[in-house]
Amino acid sequence: MFSLDDIQSGKVEIAPDIVKTIIAKTIDKIDGTRLISKILADKRVGFLPGKKRQGMISIDEDERISVNLHLAVNFGQNIPIISRKIKEKVKDEIESTTPYQVSDIKIYIDKIDELLKKD
């Protein structure tokens, strides 16, 4: 593992797409959920007047990450329980594989699917 000093001195740099990949692979391991792209989510639910969606991640000047996830879940799942599980797993994975700390994870359930099983 490398330190935040290594990144700031230019020794290591992590592209935002790498963090997005970590998030996507983490969610892919959770039965009954799938990540929906922002573009697809916007088409499905439309824009609310006066509201704009943020990108999947934003990194502040203190190297803290905020995450916005647009998901589909299986019909019949307990949404508060699955949301907590997703938040815990995504936070743990980001913080254990990158030098970033997660400050916030927001989950938007944009779709209910019949059955989403992971192979």
Per-residue model confidence as pLDDT tens for the chain (119 residues): 455 665 566 667 788 888 989 999 999 999 889 888 754 444 444 444 444 444 688 888 788 899 999 999 999 999 999 999 999 999 999 999 998 999 999 999 988 987 655 55
Give the span between the Cα atoms of 32 and 66, in whole angstroms.
24
Helix (H) / strand (E) element for 65: namely strand 64-74
Entry pTM: 0.74
Q: Which domains does the chain have, with CATH numbers?
A: 16-113 (3.30.70.1350)
Burial of 86 (0-12, 13-18, 19+ CB in 10 A): buried
Element (H, E) at 107: strand 101-113
